Amino acid sequence: MSAFLEEMEESGIRTAVVMGRYAPQHDGIVLNDDIAELIQTYPDRFVGFGSVNVANPHAAMDEVDRCWRIGFKGIAMDNPWSDPPLYNDDPKLSAIYEKCQELGLIVALTCSIYLGPDMTYSMPVHVQRVAERFPGLRIVVVHAAWPWVLPMCGVALKCTNVYLVPDFYGYLPNIPGAHHYVEAANSYLSYRLLFGTSYPVRPLGMSVKQFKQLPFGSEQVLARCLGENAARLLGLSR
């Protein structure tokens, strides 16, 4: 942790979001108790999101309550990696979304070509249905549904409770369609595009540097997307 905190300092990152994960068939499990220990040990440096086993709805509801009591800001869900795989708008998930909306918890939906048995699981329409069904629920789309860039930007235009985190799909050189995320940020998505590092896929400093090189329309828009939007969403002071 000392090495990671040093890397954060060198990259100019003051606060990082860390997420639990329940995807036993794919990326494995990151325990909520480990996330809780981390934010309790470093309360000024980390914000926690819990995870739930969506294959067990009853247990998931209890875990959402526990995450709220712990002080997590949201719930991270990898629905296409559940067993069995679920689309993000599967009716089995409605009670979880409703509970998160009731408690004011943010829902982070991991959504990209790598999730699910095929690419239909990352189609933005599934996010749109959730966003419209639960208008008071703040939804962060991790990986911003790449490669469905234009449809995802369209969903974010229509559904103002949707936030996009393209992370490396937004700033890796020559990623097809990435420029549409920036165009949206220069327009209607100015307050709802969020920076993400994709750590540990890439070094923190490299991610920050490449994000700053994107053609944002102004330093003000860059500042919003680099941290101000996330601070406001998470209820943090800057």
- Mean pLDDT score across all residues of the chain: 95
CATH superfamily of 2-234: Metal-dependent hydrolases (3.20.20.140)
State whether residue 181 is helix, strand or coil. Answer: helix
103: number of Cβ within 10 Å: 14
Residue 63's contacts (CB-CB under 8 Å, 6 or more residues apart) are: 32, 50, 52, 53
The answer on pLDDT for 238 being more than 70 is no
Over the stretch 98-149, which tens digit does the pLDDT of each residue have?
999 999 999 999 999 999 999 999 999 999 999 999 999 999 999 999 999 9
Over the stretch 137-195, which tens digit does the pLDDT of each residue have?
999 999 999 999 999 999 999 999 999 999 999 999 999 999 999 999 999 999 999 99
- Judged on CB neighbours under 10 Å (0-12, 13-18, 19+), 58 is exposed
Q: Are the beta carbons of 94 and 71 closer than 8 angstroms?
A: no
pLDDT band for position 237 (50/70/90)?
Answer: confident
